[in-house]
A = this chain, B = another copy of it.
Amino acid sequence: MTASVWINGRPGRWIDVFDRGFQYGDGLFETFLIRNGTPVLWEAHMARLRRGCERLALPMPDPGLLYDEALRACAGVEAGVLKLQVTRGGGGRGYAPPREVEATRVFSRHALPPALSVWRQDGVRVRLCRTRLGINPALAGIKHCNRLEQVLARLEWNDPAVHEGLMCDGEGFLVEATMSNVFWVRDSVVFTPGVDRCGVAGVVRDWVMHRLQAWGTTVRTVRVKPTVLVQAEEVFLTNSVIGIVPVVAWEDGRWPVGPVTRRLQEAWRP
């Protein structure tokens, strides 16, 4: 399956060079898992997109229109990835947006990572990135298109055996991985970093937190150094495409695929 693209509802592949997405990264995106012709966790993704639009003062495209377009893009697809990008549209030169904004919406469909089932079953190896996340509450939590920090972090390694890179904020506190959120378990408590200063509030991160709370498990959002992982009993990553993937190795650290991870994976049946 090669990528198929729809721009403002029509098949296409080209964007106006003055689109503010190209000029300034002035936009947002959502990445959906496709299952049986449907984007998974649609409502949760729309809620985050809406929060992002509010934060960036960007007019939210009509969710009904988006859903129709998403369904068309997912039609006949048993399993895949759908990316939606919403930008502030055309705007010429200069940071001030035009008075009347017409958002650009781009849907693109992609194949699932081929090794996904292996990652889920056997777990993955991670590294710690030197690239830090700048602290800025105005941009934290939302999934905006200013992603140079993630690009720089991802440039730090090309060993295909390393699946992900953990990232700290400018003060050295663990936040997330380049494309996923991170959780760990110790003494029956599940921990994950807060994302109110930087980082992305992942849709599956939210799903996991709610599911754990529904099971009566204590979940704590914390601000700690990454070395805390050494003491963890299990570590796992989440994002919309991978779902829940165990981390089994980081430098000298080795973790088993633990019971909390496996129970979440079983509950996660998109």
Q: Residues on A close to B: CB < 8 A? A: 3, 5, 7, 12-26, 31, 56-57, 81, 83, 85, 87-88, 92-97, 106, 108, 110, 131-136, 138-139, 144-155, 158, 170, 178-179, 198
Contacts and interface: CB of A to CB of B under 8 A. Distances in A.
A95 to B, nearest CB: 4
9 contacts: A14-B17, A15-B15, A15-B16, A17-B106, A18-B108, A24-B148, A56-B151, A92-B110, A131-B138
A174 B81 CA distance: 43
A13 B16 contact: yes
A95 B153 contact: yes
A145 B198 contact: no
A198 B153 CA distance: 18
B7 A17 contact: yes
A93 B106 contact: no
A79 to B, nearest CB: 15
B134 A135 contact: yes
A52 B209 CA distance: 40
Contacts of A150: 24, 95
Contacts of A87: 22
A51 B4 CA distance: 36
Given A5-B17, A24-B148, A108-B17, A96 B136 contact: no
A26 B147 contact: yes
A162 B113 CA distance: 50
A228 B181 CA distance: 41
B25 A146 contact: yes
A148 B26 contact: yes
Contact of A23 (B85, B88, B95): B85
Contacts of A151: 20, 24, 26, 56, 88, 95, 97
B138 A152 contact: yes
A98 B19 CA distance: 23
A5 B22 CA distance: 14
A159 to B, nearest CB: 12
A114 B135 CA distance: 37
Nearest to A95: B154
